[in-house]
Amino acid sequence: MKALALVETPLQLLCVKEAADAMELTSVTVFVVSDLRSNSYTQLTKLRSWFRDFSSEKYQFVVADLSSVAGESLELRIGLYADLFNELDHDQFDRLLLCEYRSQWQKDIAATLSHIDTWLLDDGAATLCYLFFHVPAKKQFSLPQTGTEERQAEANRIKQSMNLSTGEPAKLSLFTMFHAHVPNSIVSQPNNLRCIYKLFDAVDSSSMVFIGTNMVELGMSTADQYHSIVKEIIQSTNKKVIYIPHRGQSKENNELFKSKFPTVEFLTLDMPLELWIHEQHKPPGHIVGFYSTAFYIANLAFPQINLTCIAFTQNMLDKAEETHVFGSNLFTNKEAFALAYDYLPEKVVRYESHLMQN
């Protein structure tokens, strides 16, 4: 069975690898659309080199560089992925692996290939939002309209001229870590992350990882508020703390963090956190942070590591409701964060800060 996989992030590529193994696919064309200057793409290339399978004949990669059309016309931006897609032999594909239901280019290709078996893979806890907001509304996609009606009409004309459908994709099946929450009406298969599962000889109980978040950049808190919670966590433990920033955190805020916490090891990764953990002979025995996909992945892949998720305060959630939501009309950031926290794996300890109650 041959598949086309649509990918933007390292996690999506990891899920493609897991799906290809579980579904026993014989050939996978991985279509990547990304900013090749970004940390996300750097991590994606690390992941690609980490798995030997990606260098085998089973996988073929097609890559489109978003930065090459930044600020350019609609025709050039749509043509970036349409031209590469049209160079592929569509008739060879038996299955489409869709990784992002909040992405316009992925929707366009899924709609164009609506006649083949289409599966939605995980993009973190966004899958939960799909299950709890999109499925009840019977909508595979609900992309916000951008620009004027005239501009939208122009985009549709360009797509049609490039043999892209402007309709709706067919019904989606799910390959997901959240298999237990999929209703019986949807065909699904569990994503158990077996390709990175690992039992270590031992974990380092004297150290912990604090996963950074871009909540300051999203406008959910001030830097001082964020630092106060980090300080509370650090003061509550005698463990060595390794702080790993989120790739969405700004250079300015990272430098500010380092000046505030000079004794904390600040570790910037050029690979996904999960690969870094997997490569450690004796990884830190505890991961702490605000909401992160890492909690779901580590729960499945690294069962020896303890996990603690810090709850967002009500004030943070209220501010999250005001921030931009990428790619869906059916939920707000507040609803997405609250849902992800409510459906954390049972193993994850929930922590409510004594600070920031207002």
Quick: pLDDT tens for 165-194. Answer: 998 887 899 999 999 999 999 999 999 999
Is 358's pLDDT higher than 50? Answer: no
* 217's tokens: 């950049």
Are both 130 and 248 inside the same structural domain?
Answer: no
Task: Point out the domain boundary residue: 165, 190, 215.
Answer: 190
Tokens of 168: 């709706």
Full domain range(s) for residue 110 = 2-190
pLDDT of residue 324: 67
Say yes or no to pLDDT of 252 above 90. Answer: yes
Same domain, 52 and 178: yes
Task: Give the domain-ending residue among 133, 157, 190.
Answer: 190
Point out the least confidently predicted range of 30-34, 81-85, 228-232: 228-232
pTM: 0.92
Answer whether residue 197 is part of any domain: no
The answer to whether residue 345 sits within a structural domain is: yes
Confidence band (pLDDT; 50, 70, 90) for 288?
Answer: very high
Residue with tokens 């702490």: 288
Domain count, the chain: 2
Q: 3-state SS string over the chain?
A: CEEEEEECCHHHHHHHHHHHHHCCCCEEEEEEEECCCCHHHHHHHHHHHHCHHHHCCCEEEEEEEHHHHCCCCHHHHHHHHHHHHHCCCHHHCCEEEECCCCCHHHHHHHHHCCCCEEEEECECEHHHHHHHHHHHHCCCCECCCCCCHHHHHHHHHHHHHCCCCCCCCCCCEEEECCHHHCCCCCCEEECCCCCCCCCCCCCEEEEEEEECCCCCCCCCCCHHHHHHHHHHHHHCCCCEEEEECCCCCCHHHHHHHHHHCCCCEECCCCCCHHHHHHHCCCCEEEEEECCCHHHHHHHHHCCCCEEEEECCCHHHHHHHHHCCCCCECCCCHHHHHHHHHHCCCCCCEEECCCCCCC
Give the type of residue at 64. Answer: A
Question: Interhelix angle for 39-50 vs 10-22, to 10°?
Answer: 30
Residue 150 in any domain: the answer is yes
Note whether 69 and 143 are same-domain residues: yes
Calculate helix-pair angle for 333-342, 314-322, nearest 10 degrees: 140
What's the average model confidence in pLDDT over 246-273? 92
Digit-coded pLDDT (tens) for 191-227? 999 999 999 999 999 999 999 998 888 888 899 999 9
What is the per-residue pLDDT across 131-147, written as a single tens digit (0 to 9) for each?
Answer: 999 999 999 999 988 78
Compute the mean pLDDT over every residue in the chain, rounded to the nearest whole number. 92
Residue 26 counted as domain residue: yes
Same-domain check for residues 162 and 217: no
Domain end (from 137, 162, 190): 190
CATH of the domain at 23: 3.40.50
Instruction: Note whether 250 and 346 are same-domain residues.
Output: yes
